[in-house]
Amino acid sequence: MSDRVLRAVSQSGALRTQIGSDIFSRFVETFEQSKPLIAQTLRELSSRFEGLPPVPLNETLLEALEQAVRASQKGLDGSSAELRDRLSDFIERVANRQTTESVVSRVESLRGQLREAQATYYQDDTSILSDYEFDRTMDLLEAEEEYFESIRRPDSPTQEVGGSRSALFDPVEHAERMLSLDNVFSIDELTEWAAKTSAAAGRTPAWLCELKIDGLAISLRYELGRLTSAATRGDGRTGEDVTVNALRVAGIPEHLSGTDHPTLVEVRGEVFIPTRGFAELNELQAQLQERAVAAARERWESRPEATRGPFDEQREAASAARRFPAFANPRNAASGGLRQQLDKKSGLEREAGDARVATLQLYVHGIGAWPRPPVAAQSEIYDLLAGWGLPVSPHSKVCTSIEEVAAFVAHHGEHRHDVEHEIDGVVVKVDELTLHDELGATSRAPRWAIAYKYPPEEVHTRLLDVAVGVGRTGRATPYGVMEPVLVAGSVVRQATLHNQDVVRAKGVLIGDTVVLRKAGDVIPEILGPVVELRDGTETEFVMPSHCPECGTTLRAMKEGDIDLRCPNAQSCPAQVRGRVEHIGSRGALDIEALGEVTAAALTQPRVPAVPPLITEARLFDLTLDELVPIEVVVRDAETGEPRTDDDGEPVARKPFQKIRLDYPPEAEGMTAQERRKAGYRKDHPVVEPSAQAETLIDELEAAKTKELWRQLVSLNIRHVGPVAARALADWFGSLQAIEAASEEELAQVEGVGPTIAAAVTEWLAVDWHQQILDQWRAAGVRFATPDHPGPGAAQQDGVLTGLTVVVTGSMEHFTRDGAKDAIIAAGGKAAGSVSKKTDFVVVGPGAGSKETKARDLGLSILDEAGFERLLDGGPDAVADLVGGESDS
């Protein structure tokens, strides 16, 4: 636990500021020296309170450590004594159960932070928390839920996998769910994970180590050796169908080599662009820019001199740069390359798209669905896959000890840029396949694998300004504007600073040279200033008192809130823009034509002066006539600031109109010969609705009858994401029934709870929210699930109502997720672990420790045939099979 504490504390800008950078550095050294003492202290104190689990990593413990740090100025002994006293006080309070109310409040706060961070990341493509802040918050929440088991809920962020798919691609259901990986950030954490895994396995396994490729995850489905689909991860259950492009990727065969292929096997891998290929791809982009300018010059030269002005080289070059920009990093180029729609491209764009696909490569690194692989180890799976003609990474190694694993990690950390592709860490897996099922998985990640993440790259750059943007929730977010700098493979110009307290805590001044880190190699983060380089010209940032978008006075919306928000939720242009964009997002109504630019066009256009949408109430009343004249300045998704071109000018678009060249009105009725004689040409611009305008109107019409849960998410009710919305929709069946329910009735729905129930009730009580509902209903939005029988229907009795069923081992006719879905459909609860409360345990080959525990507890055990009977007829149908013995 020491490393987790150290990482959490070390990310505290407030702590760094309070004690000074030099003392902070001394603390880190002191902490490293104190690890044995801290561990011993915790053991001694815990032993004083019989039956208490280990001390959780929460804010109280961090507070104790902060106090210890301040005492570290006195030396190691003083620090240790202070630490011992604070920890002792904490454990005594836990022992006396005096923290229950504060724990519930703290956990709900953590969940809210994580839900909001996940929503902005997956639905709005922005990040309000850095990777480190997100990981630290998740660590705190996991520790609290582990310690206080009664407050753990299935809809907690610790139990879910984030992600979604695009509406541009057909959905593909994975036969076996694609999970994420948990992360560790130090050798000590890796060693701790290995020790826990070995203990759970009952032996020390062999460890398969492989490089964590920075690319795009893909699942290849082969049936009897023939590729039937290739799909992205998506949300883990449903991905995007990219089969057409995948067949063009080097190393992905349409037919496997060899013989004896299984009926079905899912092969998992990573699509990437090699670093050399990435450089060549950017060289091609530069060449295409030159060719685009040359083509524009040829078109200009082909026009009669009398009808053409001077050739604008600068304008054409800027246009070409937008068409064929340099790619920032190989991962984004690979993701976009695999997910592009080549059949919709032509000319130079098609050439660029083809070249992008041609640079893609694949390494396979695992399997999904494959009921009975004929080998015993993951590394042997790789040998099989290679024999079938699939490309396997040459950089994997089986290690027999954690020391050997650590050496592998260290070696590739030092030679990180020496391999053919970008990496951001090392994946360590248990090699023995039977242990995979025994160890199982959480709702988000397997327990038999872990990702060791290398430290992100850090650079210095100059902080030119601190500006403030406003998002859809009204949060006023300061962000740093910096001199452009290359870090972790991409050029960074801006980085969020979250709120005024963070700016103050980090101690940065406008004009400072700052340390910039690409946290998790993705999100840029300002760590702090290089104080030694200050020259006295730096100035302090002052948080504005008024919203930069609408002028309303900023304030904290609730007592104790750190963030300042604009309370003008109804008509603040930035908030309306954000909400409209959210309505079109994948997690809401999934309207492909309603993205960032469209939302800005509808709410903050340059033309006309009065925007079509003052609030989202008129969204479903929009017409083509309103859309066509709109001109909009493109804005940054996170900050709301206008984007600029290479010359610093705002980038403007007219997204809803297209220009068709035709003969001028004077030529109407003339014959071709008369037009030629009069000198009329097809050079008269005619403005028409663009395909995007027509698509938007069509998709808005289709969205009116989408699922109720999507309609609920689109209302922008705080805390109501897809999970809570599904729960409300399944239980009540209509918005009318939700409106009629009391807050207590809402809170009783599984997956909702008091926080979400209060948010729903508060939202419905606002008059302008009711205006939105009235206008949407009048426009034909269906806030109901057809044929839903009414409140409570989601928990109608099934043959397994009230029963808990655990499925372990492989099944011939069910994937793991398929078995869970079948249990839930029958009214039961699909559990992941065996306990005295388990009613039935279904076992298949490789069941392992779960079957052993079930027999030790004397539980009812079924094989797959018995499971099918249970699903059909309930407990009575298997009465002759149970009693603790399987009939297999």
Can you tell me the distance from the alpha carbon of 205 to that of 398, in angstroms, rounded to the nearest whole number?
10
Q: What pLDDT does residue 28 have? A: 45
Question: Six-digit token pair at 884?
Answer: 């603790």
| Beta carbons within 8 Å of 101's beta carbon, 6+ residues apart | none
CA dihedral defined by 589, 594, 599, 602, rounded to 10 degrees?
Answer: -110
Phi, psi of 804 (to 5 degrees): -110, 130
Beta-strand runs (E) in 764-876: 804-808, 829-831, 840-843, 860-862
Q: Is 35 annotated as a binding residue?
A: no
Structure tokens given for 338: 């695999």
812 pLDDT band, cuts 50/70/90, is confident
- Model confidence at 94: pLDDT above 80: no
Confidence of residue 92 (pLDDT cuts 50, 70, 90): very low
Residue 149: predicted pLDDT: 63
pLDDT value of position 160: 63
Share of the chain above pLDDT 90, in %: 41
Q: Which two tokens stand for residue 834?
A: 């065996």
> How confident is residue 834, by pLDDT bands cut at 50, 70 and 90?
confident
406-408-413 Cα angle (round to 5): 95
How much is the pLDDT for 814? 86
Is 864 annotated to bind a ligand? Reply is: no
> pLDDT at position 234, please?
81
- What does the DSSP 8-state code read for residue 264? -
Confidence at residue 869, expressed as pLDDT on a 0 to 100 scale = 92
The 3-state DSSP class for residue 481 equals: strand
pLDDT of 444 reads 79
501 is in an annotated binding site: no
Q: Look at 56 and 277; give whichever has higher pLDDT.
A: 277
Higher pLDDT, 269 or 6: 269
Q: Above 70 in pLDDT, residue 118?
A: no
Does 572 count as an annotated binding residue?
yes
- How far apart, in whole angstroms, are the C-alpha atoms of residue 439 and residue 848? 9
Among the ranges given (75-89, 336-350, 644-658), the one the predictor scored with the smallest mean pLDDT: 75-89
Name the amino acid, one letter, at 533. Answer: L
Q: Would the annotation count 180 as a binding residue? A: yes
Is 566 a known ligand-binding residue? yes
Residues 154-177: pLDDT tens digits? 667 776 665 555 556 788 999 998
Can you name the residues that pair with 631 across neighbouring β-strands?
Answer: 607
DSSP secondary structure letter of residue 127? -
Host H or E run for residue 655: none
Count CB atoms within 10 A of the CB of residue 770. 14
Per-residue pLDDT averaged across 852-880, rounded?
A: 90
Domains with residue ranges and CATH for the chain: 2-159 (no CATH), 171-273+360-453 (3.30.470.30), 275-358 (no CATH), 459-533 (2.40.50.140), 573-655+690-701 (no CATH), 704-794 (1.10.150.20), 797-878 (3.40.50.10190)
Under a CB-based contact definition with an 8 Å cutoff, are residues 715 and 734 in contact? Answer: no
Q: Do the annotations mark residue 547 as ligand-binding? A: yes
Residue 584 CA to residue 725 CA, distance in Å, equals 16
At 730 the pLDDT is 86
pLDDT at position 323, please? 87
Segment 634-663 mean pLDDT: 77
Neighbours of 203 (CB within 10 A): 8
Find out whether 313 is annotated in a ligand binding site. Answer: no
pLDDT tens per residue across span 495-527: 888 888 788 778 889 999 888 877 544 578 888
Sign of the Cα torsion 37, 39, 44, 46 reads: positive
Predicted local confidence at residue 884, as pLDDT: 40
Which segments within 488-577 are labelled E, that is strand?
490-496, 513-519, 523-529
Is residue 418 marked as binding?
no
pLDDT the model gives residue 161 = 60
The confidence score (pLDDT) of residue 693 equals 94
Determine contact, residues 56/146, Cβ cutoff 8 Å.
yes
Of 35, 74, 196, 212, the catalytic one is 212
- Phi and psi angles of residue 746, each rounded to the nearest 5 degrees, phi first: -65, -45
For residues 438 and 849, the answer to whether their CB atoms sit within 8 Å is: yes
Pair 584, 594: CB distance under 8 Å: yes
Dist CA 867 CA 853 (whole Å): 19
Say which residue, 144 or 304, is predicted with more confidence. 304
Peptide bond into 608 cis (omega under 30): yes
Where is mean pLDDT largest: 394-408, 465-479, 636-650?
Answer: 394-408
For residues 611-634, give the mean pLDDT. Answer: 94
Per the rule left: phi > 0, alpha: psi between -120 and 50, beta: everything else, 475 is: beta
* 44 labelled binding-site residue: no
Residue 409's pLDDT is what? 94
Higher-scoring residue by pLDDT: 46, 311: 311
Residue ranges of alpha helices (H) inside 604-653 are 624-627
10 Å Cβ neighbour count for 715?
Answer: 22
Spatial distance between the Cα atoms of 409 and 145, rounded to a whole number of angstroms: 31
Buried b (16+ CB within 10 A) or exposed e, 281-299: bbebbeebbeebbeebeee
pLDDT reported for residue 77: 40
Q: Which of 121, 176, 140 is nearest to 55 (CA)?
A: 140
**Is residue 200 within a helix (H) or strand (E), and if so which, with residue range?**
helix 187-201
Is 650 within 8 Å of 633 (Cβ atoms)?
yes
Beta strands in 613-663 (DSSP E): 632-633, 652-653, 657-662
- Bridge partners for 450 per DSSP: 428
Residue 406 in tokens:
């650590």
| Closest listed residue to residue 764, CA positions, set 729, 802, 736 | 736
Percentage of the chain lying above the pLDDT 70 cut: 80
Q: What pLDDT band is residue 15 in, cutting at 50, 70 and 90?
A: very low
∠387-389-390 over CA atoms, to 5°?
105
Give CA–CA dist 663/680, Å, rounded.
7
Residue 210 assigned to a binding site? yes
Is 133 annotated to bind ligand?
yes
Nearest alpha carbon to residue 65 among 41, 101, 47, 99: 41
Residue 57, helix vs strand vs coil = coil
| pLDDT band of 340, cuts 50, 70, 90 | confident
Would you state the pLDDT for residue 839? Answer: 93
Given pLDDT bands bounded at 50, 70 and 90, which one contains residue 135? low
CB atoms within 10 A of CB 414: 9
Residue, of 183 and 132, whose pLDDT is higher: 183
**Residue 251 φ/ψ region, left for φ over 0, alpha for ψ in the -120 to 50 degree band, beta for the rest:** left
- What are 541-595's pLDDT values in tens digits? 999 999 999 999 999 887 777 789 999 999 999 999 999 999 999 889 999 899 8
CA–CA dist 888, 881 (Å, integer): 10
Sign of the CA dihedral with 400 first, then 405, 407, and 412 last: positive
Does 549 carry a binding-site annotation? Answer: no
Q: How confident is the model at residue 140 (pLDDT cuts 50, 70, 90)?
A: confident
Specify the pLDDT at position 52: 37
Judge whether 88 is annotated as a binding position.
no
Question: 2-10 and 59-71 helices cross at what angle (nearest 10)?
Answer: 80
Whether 850 is catalytic = no
Cα–Cα distance for residue pair 872/880, rounded to 1 Å: 15
Q: How far is CA 75 from each of CA 25, 85, 717, rounded to the nearest angstrom?
A: 14, 16, 51
Give per-residue pLDDT as tens, 377-436. Answer: 999 999 999 999 999 999 999 999 999 999 999 999 888 878 889 888 999 999 999 999
Amino acid at 539: T
Please give the residue that has the higher pLDDT: either 449 or 50: 449
Q: Give the mean pLDDT of the chain.
A: 81
State the alpha helices, DSSP H only, in 798-842. 816-825
What is the per-residue pLDDT for 382?
Answer: 94
Q: Cβ neighbours of residue 71 under 8 Å, at least 6 residues apart?
A: 78, 79, 81, 82, 83
pLDDT of res. 198 = 96
Is 134 labelled a binding residue?
yes
Strand 829-831 versus strand 804-808 pairing type? parallel
Tens of pLDDT along 746-792?
A: 999 887 889 999 999 999 999 999 999 999 999 999 999 998 888 88
Report how far residue 283's alpha carbon sits from residue 276's, in angstroms, rounded to the nearest whole number: 11
- Of 456, 412, 455, 452, nearest to 188 by C-alpha is 452
CA-to-CA distance for 750 and 795, rounded, in angstroms? Answer: 10
Tens digits of residue pLDDT in 199-225: 999 999 999 999 999 888 999 999 999
d(CA 131, CA 139): 12
Question: In the structure, what pLDDT confidence band is assigned to residue 724 with cuts at 50, 70 and 90?
Answer: confident
Per the CB < 8 A criterion, the answer to whether 212 and 427 are in contact is yes
Q: Which helix (H) or strand (E) holds 229?
A: strand 226-232
**What is the rounded distance in angstroms from the CA atom of residue 197 to the CA atom of residue 509?**
46
Q: How far is CA 381 from the centre of its chain?
A: 29
Helix (H, G, I), strand (E, B) or coil at 807: strand
Report the residue count for the chain: 888
- 3-state SS class at 837: coil
pLDDT score for 639: 53
181 is in an annotated binding site: yes
Cα separation, 477 vs 267, in Å, equals 43
Give dist(CA 842, CA 816) in Å, integer: 11
Does the pLDDT value for residue 455 go beyond 90?
no
